[in-house]
Structure 1
Amino acid sequence: MDRRAFLKSGAAIALGATIAGCLGDTGRDYDVAMVSDAYVPRSTATVPDDAPSWVPRDVPTVEVVAGDAVVWENTGARNHTVTAATYDHDQVEALLGISGDAAHAHDPHLPAGADFFSSGSFDGEVAAARSFIDELDGGGVVPPGERYEHAFDVPGWYHYYCIPHLPAGMMGNVHVLDA
């Protein structure tokens, strides 16, 4: 096909639209992008000094009002998870073979009355980790281009992480304010 025929066919327009979509933000509405080994919020809040001691200060933090949902979108090329850190976090680190300097020094937990959350809708943190380890494609995975959403109804601090990329430090916080 010569250049003029190609241009008349409309294929050039479709190709241009495809390339444009790959080059920049396509305007999709999400709160946190999942890329390589990191969560990248559209806007980041600072963890104040009066936050509980177990809340990591050096990770991306999203701030929402009770009743709001947070949307994570996998904008990268690797599979990711979103998993709440709880009192069972030491068991999960043991399952993943994390110890020493890579282990968390804090004791994360959910606010009283808050529901556990994870991509894959598991009953708890250990179940989410076991499913990821035991399933061929990893239980609870958010594949590239897909989303996970969770509504936060209880005010307080939430810490979360990506199961396969926890050793690389892929974690974040959600701070839920009173409505």
Structure 2
Amino acid sequence: MERRAFLRAVGPAAAAGLAGCLGGSTATGDYDVGMSAAAFRPVRIAVEPGTTVRWLNTSKQGHSVTAYEGEIPDDADYFASGGFDTEQAARDNWGSSSGGTLFEGEDFTHTFEVLGEYPYFCIPHERAGMVGTVVVTENPETVTGDA
């Protein structure tokens, strides 16, 4: 088969197969932060106040999204998958019943209203370094981050 004919035939299928690996959209819709086996992607994002961030478990591992309660802004609402009100409640429920687990294809959303940095982690993969940060700022394009 001629090279160009081959690329025309398989190109769209290959691109569709890689869509979930390359960015912020999958067959289940758009998302802001994906979850690989032991990392959030991107690790750091910047948003304006009032933005709802969507985390999507894009891996086969069970994950959580759990804020470090003592490190978020004072006036901010606490957030954790499973709807827990405190970091300790999230940790306790994970250990006893896997509460707050996001399985493959499941998502979690939270709306950020207060300016500041919001560090968060995945309970079962925290020791492996699965942590991230949402930065809420009036000028998200000026925030540098790592991917």
Shorter-chain TM band: 0.7 to 0.9
Distance 1:21 1:121 in 2: 36
Q: Kindly indicate which of the two structures has a greater share of residues assigned to strand.
A: 2
SS in 2 for 1:158: strand
- Could you say what the CA RMSD is over the residues aligned between the two structures, in angstroms? 2.0
Give runs of ≥4 in structure 1 deviating > 6 Å: 19-22
Task: Give the counterpart of 1:155 among 115, 124, 135.
Answer: 115
Matches within 5 A, 1:22-33: 23-25=17-19, 27=25, 28-33=29-34
Instruction: Note the residue ranges of structure 1 that are not aligned, 5 or more in a row.
Output: 1-18, 42-59, 88-108
Task: Give the counterpart of 1:176 among 136, 139, 144.
Answer: 136
User: How much identity, in percent, do the aligned residues show?
Assistant: 41
Task: Give the counterpart of 1:128 among 68, 78, 90.
Answer: 90
Rg larger in structure: 1
Instruction: Note the residue ranges of structure 2 that are not aligned, 5 or more in a row.
Output: 1-12, 140-147
The number of aligned residues is: 121
Q: TM-score, normalised by structure 1?
A: 0.63
* 1:24 Cα deviation from its structure 2 partner: 2.1
Matches within 5 A, 1:22-101: 23-25=17-19, 27=25, 28-41=29-42, 60-87=43-70
Structure 2 residue identity aligned to 1:128: A
